[in-house]
Structure 1
């Protein structure tokens, strides 16, 4: 099967293949019906049933233009076919915005903004980051990710739960635009949860319990950023 490679230069959004398949099934359509609609209604002669099937099997990813046409055929919005975005480019694609729109909104030269997208490295100021969050409708967690602060946050959180959490309230508070009280409350809760899991595992007995504790500890630390945001959402309006 020859899979068409997208030729447009629009960013490729994170495609939700499962959602596309479910929407097609709900409409009682086969891949051949989707392909026909994209060819005749959206002027994409290269789209074949095999290509549609490849998208649904995650063997290929639709380009920005193909995804827009696919949404039209499936009577949904492009956002319904997009998975959770992670990068700056994916967030922009998910909102259907051009690079020029975002660059203008945050006060950056277009070329400078495009280079940030290509390198997946945000180099704007705090004021520009706030404008970015507004134009792309980013949550605080998303903003931390796209501005490259997630790895630093993870490092601080791992240290906070394994040592003295009080020492990291100020550094985490400087990294994130959050109330210091909320930061402290969240770090205390994570520290208690981590230490409680380790103690509970070790009380099972010697030998295998040590290995189990190590596994439980690594798993908790690997997911520390997600656990942090879950705790924040649970205990506040963030």
Structure 2
């Protein structure tokens, strides 16, 4: 394997581990603020495992047909996909991969990112969209978790989540520039998703 391919593979693994770590930090903070007891923690973990098996209305869009087509094109089995996703820090079993392809369940964001890399395709392809249309879709297309993107643009996570939910961008000048750079989009693309970005037309930094 060439040095370039090796470096690229290491970066992909690091990126997925960073997204997974962000999710773990979010869960840890949630548990800490509720002062959960040992029983409550076990209950929360059980609920998380149960939620993993359901569609989840807050999970990303997903095209089961595109996922199945991409896997078959590479000549991979569900077992191959599950194995490679586990290496990338998104452990799943072959049965869950098959369930995604049947349209029974949808992957989480971190699972979607890992699946796209394993299948050598764009995240948007697995989401079944031509181009991102919302702020959330732009973020997913660049494989950013909410905590990681919020940290990158120096915005409170709650404020960023509200921006995605309302599709209105409240960021200041520097946050907006950081967002455009992180998502590799133009101001016009951002405004198409969220409406006018007032901070970009003033003089305040």
Larger Rg: 1
Q: Deviations over 1:179-237 (max 9, x none)?
A: xxxxxxxxxxxxxxxxxxxxxxxxxxxxxxxxxxxxxxxxxxxxxxxxxxxxxxxxxxx
TM-score, reference length from structure 1? 0.45
Asked if 1:88 is matched to 2:121, the reply is: no
Two-structure CA RMSD over aligned residues (Å): 4.0
Structure 1 segments (4+ residues) deviating >6 Å: none
Name 2:109's counterpart in structure 1: 64
Name 1:123's counterpart in structure 2: 170
Name 1:5's counterpart in structure 2: 54
RCO greater where, 1 or 2, for CA within 8 Å and sep 6 or more? Answer: 2
Q: What is the CA–CA distance in structure 2 between the aligned matches of 1:91 and 1:47, rounded to whole Å?
A: 29
TM-score, reference length from structure 2? 0.51
Q: What is the CA–CA distance in structure 1 between the aligned matches of 2:111 and 2:154, rounded to whole Å?
A: 30
Name 2:62's counterpart in structure 1: 15
Within a 5 Å distance, the mapping from 1:1-238 to structure 2 comes to 4-5=53-54, 12-31=59-78, 33-35=80-82, 38=85, 44-48=91-95, 51-76=96-121, 78=123, 81-82=126-127, 83=129, 84-125=131-172, 128-149=175-196
Offset at residue 23 of structure 1 (A): 1.9
Q: What is the CA–CA distance in structure 2 between the aligned matches of 1:30 and 1:94, rounded to whole Å?
A: 25
SS for the counterpart of 1:134 is helix
Tell me if structure 2 keeps the 8 A contact 1:79–1:95: no
Aligned residues: 146
Offset at residue 108 of structure 1 (A): 2.6
Tell me if structure 2 keeps the 8 A contact 1:12–1:93: no
Tell me if structure 2 keeps the 8 A contact 1:88–1:146: yes
Q: What is the CA–CA distance in structure 1 between the aligned matches of 2:98 and 2:188, rounded to whole Å?
A: 34
Name 1:170's counterpart in structure 2: none
Structure 1's 71 and 124: CA in aligned 2 closer, same or farther, altered over 3 A? closer
Q: What is the CA–CA distance in structure 1 between the aligned matches of 2:188 and 2:97, rounded to whole Å?
A: 33
Offset at residue 63 of structure 1 (A): 1.0
Offset at residue 143 of structure 1 (A): 0.8
Q: What is the CA–CA distance in structure 2 between the aligned matches of 1:141 and 1:60, rounded to whole Å?
A: 34
Structure 1, unaligned runs of 5 or more: 150-173, 178-238
SS for the counterpart of 2:97 is helix
